[in-house]
Structure 1
Amino acid sequence: MEPAQKDRTPFSDIDGLTAQMSEIVLDALTAMGRHPEIQRVRDIALAGLRPTPGQRLLDAGSGSGEVARALAARVAGASGGVLAVDHSSAVTAAAISRHDGSNVRYLTGDAGDLDLPDNHVDGVWCERLLQHVDDADTVIRELLRVTRPGGRICLIDTDWGSLAFDGMPAGLADLVLRHVHGHFTPQQHDMGRTLRRRLVAAGVRDLTATPFTCFFATPESAAVVLPMVNPDVPADAWATPPGLREEWLACVEAAGASGTFLAVLTIWVVAGSTPR
């Protein structure tokens, strides 16, 4: 989570939230990481990053640290380890509290201005971070700077423009999405689909680009990843006109009860080798 965001989604500035909202967002990060669809995305990303024993990796925007700890298990060895960097001090504290003894070093810092030397790591994992920053290309250049020549970089991010629903009135869904855009979803809504272009421009080679469509067949499953279908998100966190939230959530509940609810969202995984 980085400073100078383009948006004010709850995930963009966790340290600036109320205690109640901070707890909700931290719990949401944990639940997202456990969701089967997000785990499938991460399986694709692991294949793209290609971690091997003895490597030093960077997890940029590391959240509560579950990915960093999983990566540490894969690179375990005499010199293997992971640097987990997140801009939020609250999130970093939560990650430290969940540490499992693996070789992970947790840091609070800015992924666009890392306090690391050139060529310091063998690979970088950056998941759902770039959608929240002002200048994604600056962050990418910084991630490449700290990665050794020939190392690996793996970017994972969301294409919020792909978000679609079925089972509820289409006009109502469109209205809700217009109001929550830039609040529940970032202003940089198309980040996922731009990742390949950005890495091509940065000189990254041997690129693979994989779109993964997350499929949610129930409101309960979708609510883990999509706050606009989660009735537990407090009403004062919504940026909708009076009554719209209640009408929308009633339609979501009805679609779930009838078995007709559907939500889809594409997340992109783009990986490649840094310039030699």
Structure 2
Amino acid sequence: MANDPDPRGRLIGALDQVAANPEIQRVREVAFAALHLEPGQRILDAGAGTGEVARLLATRLCGSGAIVALDASAAAIAAAVARDEGTSVRYTQGDVTALDFPDRWFDAVRCERVLQHLAEPDVAVAELARVTRAGGRVCLVDTDWESVAVDGLPRPLVARVREHLLATVVGQHLDMGRTLRRRLLGAGLREVSAVPVALYFPDPLAAAAVLPMVNPMVPADTGLIPDDLREDWFGALGEAGERGDFLATLTMWVATATV
């Protein structure tokens, strides 16, 4: 964002809000179960953000094994290191499309909400498969932004905001979530499964962390809401919240495969 006085703080704050959201935590539980993790394993969390998932993995595996938390953002990695209180997690900055690890190095890898932003997501999938041992598991978690739906607001207003969001703002691959299964198959992996997880938000506050277009704290210059609709949009959101008839849904996908 141009002239942002605190881009690092804004990034970390956004990551924290998403991580704390109960619906995101529910998706992560589905992903944990799909990985079939065991103590002593070597695990990569690619796109780890501030490392909360990697630290949780270290706790669940009783501190055994070796967990690597990788992220492209130096600010996120710095925050992750500062928050670690003696876990076994190793933090590193890196590119998921060019991983600096040997072939077959990890027992399991996970990658959450990263591929939707990449110009070449299949290169990243191939890299994740490359660094996973034969018989190991690869778990991808991502969003189907085209599934977003809102109720409780005027339909024409929702349609215009949704059209603008999908056309101009959200990541490079709006359909990434529902393409994960195909991408894993294309990478030659086996035992591929894909589970849709419908996120449910019964009020605007609950939705704000995951659906930034309903968050009034997101600055206008992000372009999430057209300037001529911003007042009407947030006014309608407030009214729906007060009436109690607001609803928003979004589908995320958890796709897992064996190398």
Q: TM-score, normalised by structure 1?
A: 0.89
Deviations 1:165-201 (A, max 9, x none): 0001122112112223365421310000000011112
Counterpart position of 2:40: 54
Shift of 1:133: 0.3
Matches within 5 A, 1:1-276: 18-76=4-62, 80-181=65-166, 184-274=169-259
CA RMSD of aligned residues (A): 1.6
| Partner-residue secondary structure (3-state), 1:52 | coil
Q: 2:165 touches 2:225 (CA, 8 Å); kept in 1?
A: yes
The worse-fitting range, judged by mean Cα deviation, of 238-247 and 115-124 is 238-247
| Partner-residue secondary structure (3-state), 2:136 | strand
CA distance in 2, matches of 1:182, 1:100: 42
Q: 1:179 touches 1:240 (CA, 8 Å); kept in 2?
A: yes
Give the residue type in structure 2 aligned to 1:72. Answer: A
Deviations 1:32-52 (A, max 9, x none): 111111111011000111111
| Partner-residue secondary structure (3-state), 2:6 | helix
CA distance in 1, matches of 2:251, 2:31: 14
Residues 219 and 143 (structure 1), Cα distance of their counterparts in 2 relative to 1, 3 Å cut: same
Shift of 1:17: 8.0
| Partner-residue secondary structure (3-state), 1:168 | coil
- Stretches of structure 1 that go unaligned for 5 or more consecutive residues are 1-9, 11-15
Give the residue type in structure 1 aligned to 2:123. Answer: T
Provide the identity percentage: 49
| Partner-residue secondary structure (3-state), 1:122 | strand
- Stretches of structure 2 that go unaligned for 5 or more consecutive residues are none
Shift of 1:243: 2.7
CA distance in 2, matches of 1:240, 1:222: 16
Q: 2:146 touches 2:166 (CA, 8 Å); kept in 1?
A: no
| Partner-residue secondary structure (3-state), 1:112 | coil
Q: TM-score, normalised by structure 2?
A: 0.95
The worse-fitting range, judged by mean Cα deviation, of 200-209 and 51-60 is 200-209
Give the residue type in structure 1 aligned to 2:129. Answer: L
Q: 1:52 touches 1:74 (CA, 8 Å); kept in 2?
A: no
Shift of 1:238: 2.2
